[in-house]
Structure 1
Amino acid sequence: MDPVSEIRQRRREEDDTETVPKRSLTKRLEKLDFYPKIGDDYVIKTESGGYVSVISSILMIILFISELISFMSVRREERITIDHTLSEKLQINFNVSLFEIPCDKASIDLMDISGQQQMGVISRIVKIDLDEANKPVNAAFSSVLEEDKLDKNCGSCFGADVSNKCCNSCSELRNAYLKRGWDTWFIDYYAPQCRKDQPDRSSRVPAKGCMVWGVLEVNKVSGNFHIAAGHAQNRDSRHVHSFSPSQIFSFNVTHHIEKLSFGDFIPGTPNPLDSHDMVAAELVSHNYYLKIVPTVYTNATSQVLSNQYSVYEVSRPVQMSAFGQITSLPGVFFVYDITPFMHSISERHMSLAHFLVRICAVIGGVAAIAKLLDTIMYYRAKV
């Protein structure tokens, strides 16, 4: 008896030893089998079928890897909506280095179209002197020039007395002069209050430039902030800066912007002015015009309300008339405008269930197509 006949005989003997209830249940389940089996004796294998199997297996592996990469990656969805957050504040984060203007000559001011102004901002601002090599020096003296140091005695206001008010600090004396509309550059250099407020320069390394960094919170309306030479004041409803006319040609606005952003950091979204350099070959007023787009970034764990912006820049030469008036102010100006639209960015991951469904579809689809091709090739070979 050949081996195949022996196997069939053994299977019949095993079936005869089964109990009747078990055989009955097995028969019922066999009727529900949607996938009838074909004995090995009736299977025909061909060379073309081997090629189809190898190619389909490679294709399955490639598609599986592709789906796995898609499952592990993040998909971004973006859309534009109307901005309803105009009541919020706008946070400005900046780090700007001016290489030719010392910290005691630089003033940070901001204003907006609602009429609000802040001159000589020092809150949440740090100034660090830079040397000839543009390296930080005198870190211990940062921002000391902007602080008020009160005296126990009543200091003179030098002709700008307001209701017998004492001017014990440089800030008080400067404010008294500003209320009169007088220039302050003289008292900044010669008034005892201002001279004693300055740190001991004998222990300082001579400063050539200034690195200014910090955070500003402004109304969410169009406006500007700037870092400019001189001390800011409001004279006849005009924003002006006072400094000695002989100093103006030393105010070169060559600068480096290490960081400029509006709001919190958005992953995967660089800021156009980060690590930006500008070299001024002459005395200029350099303007950055920013178009700010409110942005909401959402991922699986959090939501960030921030802003993106686009920018273009313009330099205007500073010229002085015969009467000592200048056409524009030497400094770096950031003029921003806020759009009424909001850019929504959503990061989404493929779910595990979706991934499994796609894998099953890939494997099943490739297997079905391979079976169809194999059948076609087999019957064509028989013809």
Structure 2
Amino acid sequence: MSFYGIMNRVFSRVRNLDAYPKINEDFYSRTLSGGVITLLSSIAMMFLVISELAMYLQTVTETKLVVDTSRGEKLKINFDISFPSVSCTLLSLDAIDISGEQHLDIKHAIIKKRLDANGNLIQVRIDQIGVPKLGKPIQKHGGEIEHNQTYCGSCYGAELSSTECCNSCDAVREAYRRRGWGLMNPDSIDQCKREGFVQRIKAEEGEGCNLSGSLQVNKVAGNFHFVKSFHLANMHVAHDHVKPFEDDSYNISHKINKLSFGDHYPGIINPLDGVQWFQHTANGMYQYFIKVVPTVYTPLRGTVIRSNQFSVTEHYKGPEVRKNSLPGIFFFYDLSGIKVNFTETHTSFLHFLTNICAIVGGIFTVAGIFDSFVYHSQKALKKKRDLGKLG
């Protein structure tokens, strides 16, 4: 048998497998109802295909809860808080955790903005501890600093070793804080006098302050708080300098412009953003109790974002129950043992193709059944009418 004969036999057998036998056009019968059904089914088919395409292109976020097994990580706290009735010099940021680690009067990566009584910006200040440059500093053992001599300022009895130096007013205050002592009249401290510390506080009287920045703390329960500086809590100064340091002038009214734990991710809600509270009396303590939930966001494209979301409750302690605690704003946070994983996904192309075929085939089949029912119903009614059986 020739090659062409073999091919004809193969093609003949394949032709016999045709599941879609063709009907001669001479036997076609087109009806108005069929045209209407075809038009409606085409519109429905197009609508469903477009909807399926939109779902295919849309990103879906899946949520999964797992036990948080991470260890040794740090917790990043971002904040932007305004205090309309507390000057920047009198405002101190501290952070303490249950492991015993303490960071008092934090200055690193913190920006202080002086505000007037109307909340308008006066000055931006980044606090730093360094060697003062005003006037001629006095050496630790007396006398002014000589040419090419390294400066070493006195800590006024608060140093922990004979070699310790306090080269600025902040350094002296820090040394007194470590000892748990109250600083005496700052004008008697050479570093504070040269830096004009008391004059600066008096000049800022009636001002407000905005603090913004971030903290890196251990990923354990703890708290951070904005209070009157520890160094000023027991300060005794001359009578004409008393007013700026009195607790009665420390009003803890505040507005939280931003507070978050970790980096931003799509869809995050920080419940304290924009919250404000105004105090009508002094010497209060406002407390926020925060439950931090570790969160991992995995985008469809890009890097994984490790962040946190949180819930919060609030409590206010008035001066009558506050007793020995400092007035201020306290944020107590605790970590949840459950981690939330958000993962962006979208429908696979094969699933999309399957749905398209199901839509086209399903509508085509249903429309064909409905058209057949209408056609045969019309045919039966016509036959009865021809036979005169219809009243």
Q: TM-score range by the shorter chain?
A: 0.7 to 0.9
> What are the Cα deviations for residues 115-167 of structure 1, in whole angstroms up to 9, with x where unaligned?
1111011111111111122122222xx034x4222557224444546555543
Question: Mean Cα displacement is larger for which, 44-53 or 242-251?
Answer: 242-251
- Where in structure 2 are the equivalents of 1:34-45 lying within 5 Å? 34-45=19-30
Work out whether 1:331 is the aligned partner of 2:316: no
Equivalent residue number for residue 220 of structure 1? 219
Work out whether 1:67 is the aligned partner of 2:64: no
CA contact (8 A) 2:73 2:218 kept: yes
- Give 5+ residue unaligned stretches, structure 2: 141-152, 237-241, 381-391
**Letter of the structure 1 residue corresponding to residue 126 of structure 2:** S
Equivalent residue number for residue 109 of structure 1? 94
| C-alpha distance in structure 2 between counterparts of 1:242 and 1:119, whole Å | 16
> What are the Cα deviations for residues 183-226 of structure 1, in whole angstroms up to 9, with x where unaligned?
12x34465231232358969x88771111111111111111001
Structure 1 residue 380, shift from structure 2 partner: 2.5
Equivalent residue number for residue 257 of structure 1? 256
**Letter of the structure 2 residue corresponding to residue 65 of structure 1:** I
| C-alpha distance in structure 1 between counterparts of 2:60 and 2:165, whole Å | 64
Equivalent residue number for residue 247 of structure 2? 248
**Letter of the structure 2 residue corresponding to residue 340 of structure 1:** G
CA contact (8 A) 1:138 1:205 kept: no
Pairwise CA RMSD: 2.9
Equivalent residue number for residue 9 of structure 1? none
Equivalent residue number for residue 314 of structure 2? 313
CA contact (8 A) 2:227 2:328 kept: yes
Work out whether 1:48 is the aligned partner of 2:48: no
Question: Mean Cα displacement is larger for which, 66-75 or 109-118?
Answer: 66-75
Structure 1 residue 113, shift from structure 2 partner: 1.0
**Letter of the structure 2 residue corresponding to residue 107 of structure 1:** S
Any idea what SS the aligned residue of 1:91 has? strand
Q: 1:188 to 1:343 in 2, by over 3 A?
A: farther
Q: 1:57 to 1:242 in 2, by over 3 A?
A: farther
Structure 1 residue 354, shift from structure 2 partner: 2.4
> What are the Cα deviations for residues 6-46 of structure 1, in whole angstroms up to 9, with x where unaligned?
xxxxxxxxxxxxx9999877655533322111122211122
| C-alpha distance in structure 1 between counterparts of 2:37 and 2:46, whole Å | 14
Structure 1 residue 347, shift from structure 2 partner: 1.0
Equivalent residue number for residue 189 of structure 2? 191
- Where in structure 2 are the equivalents of 1:351-362 lying within 5 Å? 351-362=348-359
**Letter of the structure 2 residue corresponding to residue 354 of structure 1:** H
CA contact (8 A) 2:76 2:217 kept: yes
Equivalent residue number for residue 229 of structure 2? 230
| C-alpha distance in structure 1 between counterparts of 2:378 and 2:231, whole Å | 93
Structure 1 residue 82, shift from structure 2 partner: 0.4
**Letter of the structure 2 residue corresponding to residue 149 of structure 1:** V
CA contact (8 A) 2:116 2:206 kept: yes
> What are the Cα deviations for residues 315-362 of structure 1, in whole angstroms up to 9, with x where unaligned?
111249xxxx94432211111010111111111122333222222221
Any idea what SS the aligned residue of 1:277 has? strand
Structure 1 residue 106, shift from structure 2 partner: 0.4
- Give 5+ residue unaligned stretches, structure 1: 1-18, 234-240
**Letter of the structure 1 residue corresponding to residue 288 of structure 2:** Y
Tell me the TM-score normalized by structure 2.
Answer: 0.80
| C-alpha distance in structure 1 between counterparts of 2:56 and 2:191, whole Å | 67
**Letter of the structure 2 residue corresponding to residue 300 of structure 1:** L
| C-alpha distance in structure 2 between counterparts of 1:161 and 1:78, whole Å | 55
| C-alpha distance in structure 2 between counterparts of 1:345 and 1:124, whole Å | 30
Any idea what SS the aligned residue of 2:89 has? helix
Equivalent residue number for residue 126 of structure 2? 143
Any idea what SS the aligned residue of 1:225 has? strand
Structure 1 residue 94, shift from structure 2 partner: 1.0
Any idea what SS the aligned residue of 1:122 has? coil
Q: 1:198 to 1:91 in 2, by over 3 A?
A: farther
Equivalent residue number for residue 169 of structure 1? 168
CA contact (8 A) 2:288 2:331 kept: yes
Of residues 367, 373, 376, the one that matches 1:376 is 373
CA contact (8 A) 2:173 2:231 kept: no
Equivalent residue number for residue 366 of structure 1? 363
Any idea what SS the aligned residue of 2:270 has? coil
**Letter of the structure 2 residue corresponding to residue 148 of structure 1:** G
CA contact (8 A) 1:230 1:243 kept: no
Q: 1:210 to 1:223 in 2, by over 3 A?
A: same
CA contact (8 A) 1:292 1:310 kept: yes
| Identical aligned residues as a percent | 36
| C-alpha distance in structure 1 between counterparts of 2:205 and 2:356, whole Å | 68
| C-alpha distance in structure 1 between counterparts of 2:209 and 2:108, whole Å | 17
Tell me the TM-score normalized by structure 1.
Answer: 0.82
**Letter of the structure 2 residue corresponding to residue 193 of structure 1:** Q
**Letter of the structure 2 residue corresponding to residue 174 of structure 1:** R
| C-alpha distance in structure 1 between counterparts of 2:187 and 2:65, whole Å | 54
